[in-house]
Structure 1
Amino acid sequence: MLTFINVFTVDPTNQDRVVELLTQATEGSVTEAPGFISCSLHRSLDGTKVTMYAQWKSMEDYQAMREDPRPLPFFQEALTMAKFDPGSYEVIKTFNHV
C-alpha cells in the first residue's frame, strides 16, 4: 500500500474552492479507479493549505488514475490558485487507540 500526502498551498480566499475542486475530482472518478483505497481532505485552520491524504494499492494504479482525463479539469483549475507539493510514502507503522 502507498500513501500520497499532497499539500496545496493557497491564499485563504481560495481554500474553499480548492477543497471543492478536489472533492469533485475525487468523487467524480478517482474513487472508482482500480487500486483506490481511501482519501481524506484536510483544511488548515489558518486557511493557507489543503492537504490530500490518499492511499492506493500500487504506484501503477495511481499512475493509471493520473492518466484518466475525467478529474484533470478539476486538478488543473486547482493548480491555477494553489502551489502543489506532492509526496509519496510507504506506510511503515500505524498506531490505533486501544
Structure 2
Amino acid sequence: MEATIRTGSDVTTLVNVFTVEPDNQQKLVQLLKEGTETFFSKQPGFISSSVHASKEGRRAINYSQWASAGDIENFRRDPRFAPYIQSLAALSKAETILCEVVEVNHA
C-alpha cells in the first residue's frame, strides 16, 4: 500500500515525538531509520514511516501508518521491541500518540 495521507481511511497513524539534546539528534534519527528498515517495515500491517528532524536540533518525529491499531499492539509484544525502545530512551524522551487523519488540504 502506498503512503497517502487522507481522511476517511481505516489507516491508524502513530506519531512519536522525541525530545533530544542537539548533539544526539542525528544518532536518534539514525536509530529510527535503522529500526524502520530492519524491524517495523517487516511487521504485518506496516504501511509507511517517515522520520523528521527539527531544524533547531531538539526534536525528531516519526510518523508511521499502520493497517490497524492491533498491528501496533502486536509489534509492541515482539521481544525485539523492548531493547530497541531502551536504545531510543537512552538518547531522548518520547511522546507516543495514536491518531486518525481528520483534515487534509492541498494546494
For the criterion TM > 0.5, the same-fold answer is yes
1:23 aligns with 2:24: no
CA distance in 1 between partners of 2:106 and 2:78 (Å): 34
1:50 aligns with 2:52: no
1:14-43 superposed Cα distances (whole Å, 9 cap, x missing partner): 101111111111111110111111100000
CA distance in 1 between partners of 2:58 and 2:18 (Å): 8
Question: Structure 1 vs Structure 2: percent identity of aligned residues?
Answer: 38
Question: Unpaired runs of 5+ in structure 2?
Answer: 1-10
Letter in 2 for 1:12: P
Per the normalisation by structure 2, the TM-score is 0.83
Question: Unpaired runs of 5+ in structure 1?
Answer: none
Runs (4+) of structure 1 moved beyond 2 Å?
69-75, 92-97
Contact 1:21–1:75 (CA under 8 A) maintained in structure 2: no
1:68 positional shift: 1.6
Contact 1:42–1:50 (CA under 8 A) maintained in structure 2: yes
